[in-house]
Amino acid sequence: MTKPITDVGIAFQDHLLLEFRTAFDNVTLHADIRKLPRKKIEARAKELFAQLRLTHAMQKYPRQLSGGMRQRVSLIRTLVHDPSLLLMDEPFGALDALTRLQVRTDLEALWLRRRPTVLFITHSVEEAVGLSDRILVMGPSPGEVVEEIHVDLPRPRPIVLGDVRSSPRTWTGFTGSSSAWVFCTASTRLRSGNTSHERERTNLPRRRRR
Protein backbone atom coordinates (compact mmCIF):
# COMPACT_ATOMS: atom_id res chain seq x y z
CA MET A 1 0.00 0.00 0.00
CA THR A 2 1.50 3.31 -1.09
CA LYS A 3 -1.38 5.71 -0.41
CA PRO A 4 -4.73 5.89 1.41
CA ILE A 5 -7.59 3.90 -0.08
CA THR A 6 -10.34 6.33 -1.02
CA ASP A 7 -12.52 4.17 -3.27
CA VAL A 8 -14.49 2.97 -0.23
CA GLY A 9 -17.88 3.87 1.23
CA ILE A 10 -18.54 3.30 4.95
CA ALA A 11 -21.87 3.08 6.77
CA PHE A 12 -22.06 2.73 10.55
CA GLN A 13 -24.78 1.78 13.03
CA ASP A 14 -25.48 5.47 13.62
CA HIS A 15 -26.06 7.88 10.75
CA LEU A 16 -23.27 10.21 11.98
CA LEU A 17 -24.69 13.18 10.07
CA LEU A 18 -23.40 16.63 10.99
CA GLU A 19 -26.21 18.51 12.73
CA PHE A 20 -25.14 21.91 11.36
CA ARG A 21 -25.28 20.76 7.71
CA THR A 22 -28.37 20.02 5.66
CA ALA A 23 -28.95 16.51 4.34
CA PHE A 24 -27.64 17.56 0.92
CA ASP A 25 -24.57 19.27 2.40
CA ASN A 26 -23.83 16.17 4.50
CA VAL A 27 -23.85 14.06 1.35
CA THR A 28 -21.65 16.46 -0.65
CA LEU A 29 -19.10 16.62 2.17
CA HIS A 30 -16.96 14.26 0.06
CA ALA A 31 -16.51 16.99 -2.53
CA ASP A 32 -15.46 19.55 0.10
CA ILE A 33 -12.95 17.34 1.91
CA ARG A 34 -11.47 15.37 -0.98
CA LYS A 35 -11.67 18.12 -3.60
CA LEU A 36 -13.81 15.96 -5.90
CA PRO A 37 -15.60 17.44 -8.93
CA ARG A 38 -18.47 19.23 -7.18
CA LYS A 39 -20.90 19.26 -10.11
CA LYS A 40 -20.50 15.52 -10.57
CA ILE A 41 -21.02 14.81 -6.86
CA GLU A 42 -24.04 17.10 -6.67
CA ALA A 43 -25.62 15.47 -9.72
CA ARG A 44 -25.07 12.00 -8.29
CA ALA A 45 -26.41 13.11 -4.89
CA LYS A 46 -29.63 14.45 -6.46
CA GLU A 47 -30.02 11.19 -8.38
CA LEU A 48 -29.69 9.14 -5.19
CA PHE A 49 -32.04 11.40 -3.21
CA ALA A 50 -34.62 10.88 -5.96
CA GLN A 51 -34.13 7.10 -6.00
CA LEU A 52 -34.68 6.95 -2.23
CA ARG A 53 -37.70 9.30 -2.38
CA LEU A 54 -35.94 11.99 -0.35
CA THR A 55 -35.79 14.91 -2.78
CA HIS A 56 -38.06 16.90 -0.48
CA ALA A 57 -35.62 16.42 2.41
CA MET A 58 -32.41 17.63 0.76
CA GLN A 59 -32.45 21.03 2.47
CA LYS A 60 -33.59 19.77 5.86
CA TYR A 61 -31.30 19.34 8.84
CA PRO A 62 -30.84 15.95 10.55
CA ARG A 63 -32.97 17.04 13.53
CA GLN A 64 -35.86 17.57 11.10
CA LEU A 65 -35.69 14.02 9.71
CA SER A 66 -37.00 10.72 11.03
CA GLY A 67 -34.60 7.93 11.97
CA GLY A 68 -35.22 6.09 8.71
CA MET A 69 -34.70 9.23 6.66
CA ARG A 70 -31.44 10.00 8.45
CA GLN A 71 -30.19 6.48 7.77
CA ARG A 72 -31.11 6.76 4.10
CA VAL A 73 -29.23 10.04 3.88
CA SER A 74 -26.26 8.24 5.43
CA LEU A 75 -26.63 5.56 2.77
CA ILE A 76 -26.62 8.22 0.04
CA ARG A 77 -23.45 9.71 1.53
CA THR A 78 -21.88 6.25 1.43
CA LEU A 79 -22.71 5.79 -2.25
CA VAL A 80 -22.38 9.29 -3.68
CA HIS A 81 -18.79 8.91 -4.91
CA ASP A 82 -19.55 5.51 -6.50
CA PRO A 83 -17.09 3.45 -4.41
CA SER A 84 -16.10 -0.01 -5.60
CA LEU A 85 -16.18 -1.29 -1.99
CA LEU A 86 -18.84 -0.69 0.68
CA LEU A 87 -18.15 -1.42 4.36
CA MET A 88 -21.40 -1.57 6.35
CA ASP A 89 -21.40 -2.20 10.10
CA GLU A 90 -24.97 -3.01 11.14
CA PRO A 91 -26.36 0.06 9.35
CA PHE A 92 -29.98 -0.88 10.16
CA GLY A 93 -29.43 -1.78 13.82
CA ALA A 94 -31.01 1.38 15.26
CA LEU A 95 -34.14 1.27 13.08
CA ASP A 96 -37.57 -0.12 13.91
CA ALA A 97 -38.70 -3.29 12.14
CA LEU A 98 -40.74 -1.69 9.34
CA THR A 99 -38.18 1.02 8.59
CA ARG A 100 -35.41 -1.56 8.71
CA LEU A 101 -37.16 -3.64 6.05
CA GLN A 102 -37.74 -0.61 3.83
CA VAL A 103 -34.14 0.59 4.05
CA ARG A 104 -32.90 -2.94 3.37
CA THR A 105 -35.08 -3.02 0.25
CA ASP A 106 -33.70 0.37 -0.81
CA LEU A 107 -30.13 -0.83 -0.30
CA GLU A 108 -30.65 -3.89 -2.49
CA ALA A 109 -32.31 -1.79 -5.20
CA LEU A 110 -29.37 0.61 -5.23
CA TRP A 111 -26.89 -2.25 -5.19
CA LEU A 112 -28.54 -3.90 -8.19
CA ARG A 113 -27.91 -0.80 -10.30
CA ARG A 114 -24.10 -0.87 -10.03
CA ARG A 115 -23.22 -3.93 -7.94
CA PRO A 116 -20.21 -2.75 -5.94
CA THR A 117 -18.42 -5.11 -3.60
CA VAL A 118 -20.02 -4.95 -0.14
CA LEU A 119 -18.89 -6.11 3.29
CA PHE A 120 -22.02 -6.11 5.47
CA ILE A 121 -22.34 -6.99 9.16
CA THR A 122 -25.70 -7.72 10.79
CA HIS A 123 -27.29 -9.64 13.66
CA SER A 124 -30.37 -10.49 11.61
CA VAL A 125 -30.79 -13.90 9.97
CA GLU A 126 -33.40 -12.41 7.62
CA GLU A 127 -30.92 -9.78 6.48
CA ALA A 128 -28.18 -12.38 6.05
CA VAL A 129 -30.34 -14.58 3.82
CA GLY A 130 -32.22 -11.70 2.22
CA LEU A 131 -29.04 -9.96 1.09
CA SER A 132 -26.49 -12.75 0.72
CA ASP A 133 -25.41 -15.11 -2.01
CA ARG A 134 -22.93 -16.80 0.27
CA ILE A 135 -23.20 -17.22 4.04
CA LEU A 136 -20.45 -18.25 6.42
CA VAL A 137 -21.50 -19.58 9.82
CA MET A 138 -19.10 -18.76 12.63
CA GLY A 139 -18.79 -20.37 16.01
CA PRO A 140 -18.12 -18.50 19.26
CA SER A 141 -14.80 -16.95 20.22
CA PRO A 142 -12.25 -17.08 18.64
CA GLY A 143 -14.72 -16.80 15.76
CA GLU A 144 -13.93 -19.82 13.60
CA VAL A 145 -15.86 -20.39 10.37
CA VAL A 146 -17.70 -23.69 10.85
CA GLU A 147 -20.10 -23.77 7.89
CA GLU A 148 -20.67 -22.26 4.49
CA ILE A 149 -24.11 -21.81 2.92
CA HIS A 150 -24.80 -20.68 -0.63
CA VAL A 151 -28.03 -18.76 -1.20
CA ASP A 152 -29.38 -19.45 -4.68
CA LEU A 153 -32.40 -17.15 -4.74
CA PRO A 154 -33.56 -14.62 -7.36
CA ARG A 155 -33.38 -10.89 -6.76
CA PRO A 156 -34.95 -8.77 -5.43
CA ARG A 157 -35.62 -10.88 -2.33
CA PRO A 158 -38.75 -10.13 -0.26
CA ILE A 159 -37.79 -12.84 2.26
CA VAL A 160 -39.30 -13.36 5.71
CA LEU A 161 -37.77 -16.29 7.58
CA GLY A 162 -40.18 -16.25 10.50
CA ASP A 163 -39.45 -16.61 14.19
CA VAL A 164 -35.89 -16.73 15.48
CA ARG A 165 -34.37 -17.17 18.92
CA SER A 166 -31.07 -16.34 20.51
CA SER A 167 -28.20 -18.72 19.93
CA PRO A 168 -24.53 -18.79 20.86
CA ARG A 169 -23.73 -19.40 17.21
CA THR A 170 -23.02 -16.56 14.83
CA TRP A 171 -24.24 -16.42 11.24
CA THR A 172 -22.04 -14.66 8.73
CA GLY A 173 -22.31 -14.29 5.03
CA PHE A 174 -21.42 -12.65 1.75
CA THR A 175 -23.77 -11.44 -0.94
CA GLY A 176 -23.46 -10.28 -4.50
CA SER A 177 -22.48 -11.48 -7.93
CA SER A 178 -19.08 -12.76 -9.00
CA SER A 179 -17.77 -9.23 -8.53
CA ALA A 180 -19.81 -8.14 -5.49
CA TRP A 181 -20.14 -9.78 -2.10
CA VAL A 182 -21.72 -8.89 1.22
CA PHE A 183 -20.56 -10.21 4.59
CA CYS A 184 -23.26 -10.64 7.23
CA THR A 185 -23.26 -11.79 10.84
CA ALA A 186 -26.09 -12.58 13.22
CA SER A 187 -26.28 -14.17 16.67
CA THR A 188 -29.70 -15.79 16.06
CA ARG A 189 -30.98 -18.97 14.48
CA LEU A 190 -34.30 -20.44 13.34
CA ARG A 191 -36.66 -21.66 16.06
CA SER A 192 -37.11 -25.32 17.05
CA GLY A 193 -34.09 -26.49 15.11
CA ASN A 194 -35.83 -25.93 11.76
CA THR A 195 -32.64 -24.93 10.01
CA SER A 196 -32.76 -27.93 7.64
CA HIS A 197 -36.42 -27.32 6.84
CA GLU A 198 -35.87 -23.63 6.14
CA ARG A 199 -32.78 -24.42 4.07
CA GLU A 200 -34.84 -26.78 1.93
CA ARG A 201 -37.67 -24.27 1.58
CA THR A 202 -35.36 -21.47 0.49
CA ASN A 203 -32.96 -23.69 -1.48
CA LEU A 204 -29.86 -23.04 0.60
CA PRO A 205 -27.17 -25.67 -0.04
CA ARG A 206 -24.88 -26.20 2.92
CA ARG A 207 -21.24 -27.14 3.17
CA ARG A 208 -19.32 -27.63 6.40
CA ARG A 209 -15.90 -26.05 6.65
CA ARG A 210 -13.16 -27.74 8.61
What is the pLDDT confidence band of residue 159, given thresholds at 50, 70 and 90? low
35 secondary structure, DSSP code: -
In degrees to the nearest 10, what's the CA dihedral of 81, 85, 89, 91? 40
CA distance 65 to 63: 6
pTM as predicted:
0.70
- Burial label for 152, CB within 10 Å (0-12, 13-18, 19+), is exposed
Q: pLDDT over 70 for what percent of the chain? A: 75
Question: Mean pLDDT across the chain, nearest whole number?
Answer: 75
Query: pLDDT tens digits, residue range 28-74?
Result: 998 888 888 999 999 999 999 998 899 999 999 999 999 889 999 99
Q: Flag whether pLDDT at 186 surpasses 70.
A: no
Query: pLDDT tens digits, residue range 4-17?
Result: 777 888 888 889 99
For residue 45, the model assigns a pLDDT of 94
CA distance 70 to 15: 6
CA distance 97 to 40: 35
SS3 label, residue 175: coil
Strands 164-174 and 134-138: antiparallel
